[in-house]
Amino acid sequence: MLQTMSTRDALVEAVRKQILGGELRPGEPLVETALAATFGVARPTVRSALQELVGRNLVQRSQGRSLIVPVLTEADVRDLFFVRTPLELAAVREIVQRRRPLERPGRRLAEMEALPVDAGWADRVEAHTAFHLALVDAAGSARLSRIYPALQEEMQLCLAQLRPSYPRPHDLTEEHRLLLDAVRSGDAEHACAQMEAHLRHAVESFATQH
């Protein structure tokens, strides 16, 4: 990766993947000197990469002003889904009522299903994000497609902390297969109910774990 992009961008992606994969745990400090030694880069490069991650809500400043992996509270997650749920329900209803094509969400789901059994959780988080972005885009609303991605980094952070809720390699895939089948059914009420259940399960699972 370091040979195909700038060192800073490669470091951003490496640290991001460790956060989403759970290698860097919520609340864990991100120390410039340690990261510089681990990745063999200069401290200014680390500092710049961490600032990028702060801007993407994947790193935050603690009360002592040091940088840490964000700790999402139950209140944070409920607020996140308070914003997210109406957007995805609107997308699903629009797709079903206007019979919008679902080829792209179908391809994203196939990519999720094709992940090997030993794929890392960060890879599953990325595949999950690609599916939901494709589903929202399928509604055909330029403004919805512009607004929705702004939530993605925090959604990924939330899913990173939900790993215990999906103990089997393909649990996450099976849940999304049921969701896409419901959207394809042509029954808007059924599709919206499935989406609500899908999102509610995430919130309830987070609350149970925390």
For 34-37, the CB contacts below 8 A with 24+ separation are: 35/11
Say if residues 116 and 89 touch (Cβ distance below 8 Å).
no
Answer yes or no: is pLDDT of 5 > 70.
no
The answer to whether residue 28 sits within a structural domain is yes
Identify whether residues 168 and 64 lie together within a single domain: no
Q: Return the pLDDT at 41.
A: 94
The answer to whether residue 1 sits within a structural domain is no
Query: Nearest-CA neighbor of 105 among 140, 131, 80?
Result: 131
Give how many domains the chain has, as a whole number.
2
Identify whether residues 49 and 148 lie together within a single domain: no
Whether the full predicted model's pTM is greater than 0.85, yes or no, is: yes
Beta carbons within 10 angstroms of residue 96's beta carbon: 22
**Residue 183 to residue 185: CA distance in whole angstroms:** 5
Please name the residue that has the structure tokens 């195909």.
Answer: 4
Domain hosting 171: range is 74-209
Identify whether residues 86 and 130 lie together within a single domain: yes
Identify whether residues 192 and 97 lie together within a single domain: yes
Identify whether residues 135 and 205 lie together within a single domain: yes
How much of the chain exceeds pLDDT 70, in percent?
98
The answer to whether residue 182 sits within a structural domain is yes
Q: What tokens were used for 145?
A: 């497609």
The residue from 68, 84, 110 where one domain ends is 68
